[in-house]
Structure 1
Amino acid sequence: MHNMVSRAKQVTILCVLTIIMLILRTSLVLEFDFLENDFRSAQVRFLELDQINSLATTGFETVNGRPVGGSKLNINYDSKKRSQKIYRPIASKRTDNISVDMPENLYLDLKIYNNKKLHKKLDFIIDEPTTCQANENIFLLNVILTAPRFVDSRNAIRKAWADVKVVKGRNIKSVFFMGKPTTANLVQKMAPRVNSESERYRDIIQAVALEENIVSSPTVFKMLSVFKWVVSWCPHATYILISTDSLFVNYENILKAIDENAGVNKRYLYMGRVKKYSKVDRTPGHPEYISKAVYNNSNLPKYCVGGAGVVLSSAFVHRAYDDAMCHSFKPLRFPSGDMYLGIQAKRLRVEAIYQEEFLRAGFEADYCDLKHSMTLGGFLTPTSISEIWKNFTTPIDHCPSANPNNSDISEWSRGVDNSKYFSKCLNIIYNNPSLCNRTPYLVAFITSFPDHFALRDAIRVTWGAPEYVSKLNIRVMFVLGRAIEKETPELINRITQEHEKYNDILLANFAESFHNLTLKVVLGLKWINEFCPDVKFIYKGDDDMLVNFDRILGHLRSHYNSTGLFLGNLMSSSPVIRQSSKYLVSRKVYPFKYFPPYFSGGGYIMSSDIIPDLYKQSLSTKLIPIDDAFCGILAKRAGITLTGTSGFISSGSKDDMCRLHKAYNLHGFKTTSTMIERWYQFRNTSTQKTCK
């Protein structure tokens, strides 16, 4: 009975297809696109005739370079063989048909462009339909996202990586992809320049999509415009790299990565610098806000960060575009093309492939940095583009390791002795040596700036409240430096009064600054060594977060041993930032391209037995101004294994208290009122029941 119903459904579908084809024969062409080599699924699509350059009434023809069947396409159901037989022309034989036996459990997914209006909206001002020729055999198409005003940068790129045409016998082609300026005045001003540039180089594609503020963060509209152009005018390219006009490209390394991964992932490749553990932001007005109506899951799937470049197989681009056009899913409601592409990949069951050599920050990169990269970003001027290309094309004899081993780090730190320096700058001004008279289970070191009085007070009435932490056998200490630049008698007096009142301030004789957070790490190690060696665990965090100590202690007691533990949100192969920012580490200070694995500063946990080794290594290791990375270097030298966990949350909505019930902490509370309000929501009994 079931088989009869199944066959009846299949016959019904085939009848519907036949009727539709007869009714719409003058305006539509039916195309089959096999999605899997084993033919377990097939896709039926309708293409409008205005997309077709020419269509023969018989025999083989193409639609925008892709094979279709005109009047030669037949679909028959063979009841005797219990299979469907699909006949279609093939490219190598213009008039012959081939037949493929399909298993009975084949499902036909009739996909008409539900998003037909969007499909039409994704139009072009300049489309350059002859840029990609079928006989070019383009292996990699580099679609360089740009904006109309960046003419000089495009000219510099044309003399650099866009001038590369062949790498190891494989053809490379580059095009510049831009949107439309946001105002009528800019459109009028830029149109003649863009048209002139297009006529000269024939490598400009301009979509009607409005330009975003940041080129490296394309909108969904622009991303889909790229896909439509590739599907329409460059379908023969085997792989597509979507990059930006500030991103250096090393084609040789990219091709190597494609070769290494294409065999594993077959047709559908989605590769780049993958972002993991990303929470959906439910805060209205936030740049990355996504409502539940658009995307109901609390976690975003893994996705490639577009600003670092992303490599896609042509098959994936075709399939992703079809998916966007054929479903009622509303793509334009997503805040960025990067996120949406990750969601599409998950829907299509395509795994995002992580490649650490896709990087958004390069700046002072030399030949050695560039040699190990696939992409490197931050080259915002024509001069920097020219200089970085000169660096890349001028080899040097010796390059330090990109990822240093212990020997490299020992050589880098050779002769270092921080003992005298630490004895002076880590001289303690305010302390509570009796904090561990009754040995606590956990000591929490919270880094805070001297003038963050309100945040410290908020912590003392929320997750650091004495009545709360004492029940858990936890002690909280705030670690401060001296506010040298704005150290007034009034400020000194307030800190003194705070210390006398609460006895939870650890203040040492070094200048308070972002770069001296490294000294706070060493101060905490030194303090545990001297005043609290018997404590089980140490938590290190910041003063702008909510901490769920119940969750932390529950996990520590049930999942981990009390020895050899170093737990946090693991950062692997994190690149050194060379640009001018608070995260800058010059090559003279740290010569390697990457830091050893470390934990992001939103919080991490250590068992006390690893503290002596970490402190010992700090005495003979060069200091760097990034405290988290410095701690990772110490752990590497000491042979301590880092254990990654997603329990430390540094992004996402601050309104979702259910997330905190499942996490160790939640980062980003800059105002005391928000911290206190969210804490009481978190502790509310009804909230706890709702979150179970």
Structure 2
Amino acid sequence: MYKNRRGRELESLKLSVSWKPPTILKIRQTTTNNSYVFSWPRCQQNMSAANITDFSLLPVRMQDFLYYRHCRHFPMLLDVPDKCGGADRSAEVFLLLVIKSSPVNYDRREVLRKTWAKERLHNGIWIRRLFISGTMDSGYEKKRLNKLLELEQREYNDILQWDFSDSFYNLTLKQILFLEWMERNCPKAHFLLNGDDDVLANTDNMVEYLQGLVDNDGSKHLFTGQLIYNMEPIRSPGSKYFVPVQVHESDLYAPYCSGGGFLLSGYTALVIYKMSLSITILPIDDVYMGMCLAKAGLAPALHMGVKTFGLNDPFSKVDRYDPCYYKDVLLFLPAHMYLMCHRIHDPSLKCGLKNEGSNSTKL
């Protein structure tokens, strides 16, 4: 158990009348599959953010974040509105794999499609896959990367892409945009795996774990992974995870699960989206999810099978490339994903007493 010591959240920025949020939603009909894509006008820079105390002392990347922090709607470039069979039939999806990926990570997506993220029927239930992405670079290079995603989309039909900068500080925006898409297109999916494209997830173990839950078919709260609590914001400007008091005033984050990968129910996903509508965006996405949970009166939970920080075994003689060391884990950061994924699912794999000292957890 943890003690909830959340401080005051920073009040929403008091924005001047120098800007107005977009209020007109444009809907265009695609020519390929007769579906509809929601398109929002470009969000304008909020110049009044420069009036924040010591704004000029903040790193440029943080200044840019504050200038556009209010922006939550961007044109959708690639969509798969029928991924879940439509809103009414989305209850047929038991586990939806939602994988954060940048346009340049083509190799990672290809490996995942061939391994743990393969769409399939397992134990009588459907596993579906989506990659969520923004855009990178500008000019010709941006067009080239977008073309790459378009080609992947034609072959696999598994990418959601919006026209915003795919940067670390925009990971929270990526999560919000997906949850908005889910509410519209896949509201009845039972469970979701939300994770990065550089982890290895044992989705077979996940299905068995989720099917074994008592009295929870996805219609009740579930949010589990590598639990982090009593974490303070990093105030050092040189850190990747720097969050100044101008962005988050409290000296403590609400409990959250590492964004590398976590499981949640469809119910909890929609609750988080509802809460996000009234919580100012924070640049650290997993922390922000924890804030949304806290506002809803819900809590994340630890799952010993999720190892987003890697596996640390006190026995130095353990072979870190032994598939038995990983076989019963739910999710972890692998050294060689393609090889390891095949090895842990090899039907001839025999794991004996030599592996009892590992810290893996059977699901």
TM-score, normalised to structure 1's length?
Answer: 0.39
CA distance in 2, matches of 1:355, 1:616: 25
Provide the residue aligned with 2:35 in structure 1: none
Give the match's secondary structure for 1:595. coil
Match of 2:206 among 540, 552, 562: 552
Is residue 2:134 matched to residue 1:481?
A: yes
Whether the aligned pair in 2 keeps the contact of 1:598 and 1:642 (CA below 8 Å) is yes
Partner residue of 1:608? 266
Q: CA deviation at 1:418?
A: 8.3
Structure 1 position 590, deviation (Å):
0.7
User: Which string of whole-angstrom CA distances, capped at 9 and with x for unpartnered residues, describes residues 521-545 of structure 1?
Assistant: 1122112111011111111011111
- Show the 5 A alignment for 1:24-35: none
Matched, 1:681 2:343: yes
Once the 2 structures are TM-superposed, how far is the Cα of residue 425 of structure 1 from its aligned partner? 3.5
The equivalent of 2:294 in structure 1 is 636
Structure 2 match to 1:96: none
8 Å contact from structure 1 (residues 657, 681) kept in 2: yes
| 3-state secondary structure, aligned to 1:631 | helix
Deviation of 1:635 after TM superposition, in Å, equals 0.6
Q: Which amino acid aligns with 1:559?
A: L
The CA RMSD measured in Å over matched residues stands at: 2.9
- Which residue of the partner structure matches residue 491 of structure 1? 145
Give the letter for the 1:514 counterpart. F
- Offset of 1:492 from its aligned partner? 2.1
Matched, 1:513 2:167: yes
Secondary structure at 1:646's aligned position in 2?
Answer: coil
Q: Which residue of 2 aligns with 1:189?
A: none
Give the match for residue 11 of structure 2.
412
The question of whether the paired residues in 2 share the 8 Å contact of 1:566 and 1:607 is answered with yes
Q: Which runs of 5+ in 2 are unaligned?
A: 24-42, 44-69, 313-319, 357-363
Residue equivalent to 1:165: none
The question of 1:658 aligning with 2:327 is answered: no
Following the alignment from structure 1 to structure 2, what is the Cα–Cα distance between the partners of residues 545 and 424?
A: 27
**SS of the residue 2:82 aligns to:** helix
Equivalent position amino acid for 2:83 in 1: L
Q: Could you say what secondary structure the match of 1:559 adopts?
A: coil
TM-score (norm 2): 0.72
Check the 8 A contact 1:602/1:648 in 2, yes or no: no
Contact (CA 8 Å) 2:201, 2:331: kept in 1 or not?
A: yes
2:231 corresponding residue in structure 1: 574
Shift of 1:426: 3.8
User: Which residue in 2 is equivalent to 1:457?
Assistant: 110
Q: Deviations over 1:480-534 (max 9, x none)?
A: 0111357443222211111111100010121110111111111221121110111
Deviation for aligned residue 1:447:
0.4
Aligned to 1:429: 77
Match of 2:222 among 565, 586, 589: 565
Residues of 1 paired with 2:281 and 2:151: CA distance?
A: 33
Task: Give the drift of 1:608.
Answer: 1.1
Give, in angstroms, the shift of residue 652 of structure 1: 2.7
Q: Per-residue CA shift, 1:299-334, capped at 9, x if unaligned?
A: xxxxxxxxxxxxxxxxxxxxxxxxxxxxxxxxxxxx
Asked if structure 2 preserves the Cα contact closer than 8 Å seen for 1:479 and 1:505, the reply is yes
Count of residues in correspondence between the two structures? 287
- Contact 2:199–2:334 at 8 Å: present in 1 too? yes
Paired amino acid for 1:572: Y
Cα offset, 1:355, TM superposition:
11
1:638 is displaced (CA, Å) by 1.2
Percent identity of equivalent pairs: 29
Q: Which has the larger radius of gyration?
A: 1
Greater strand content? 1
CA contact (8 A) 2:225 2:306 kept: yes
1:587 to 245, 255, 261: 245
Distance in 1 (CA, whole Å) between partners of 2:334 and 2:12 is 35
The CA distance in 2 between the partners of 1:418 and 1:660, in whole Å, is 48
Choose between structure 1 and 2: higher helix proportion.
1
Report if aligned partners of 2:120, 2:127 keep a CA contact under 8 Å in 1. Answer: no
Aligned-partner SS, 1:686: coil
Output the amino acid matched with 1:582. Answer: K
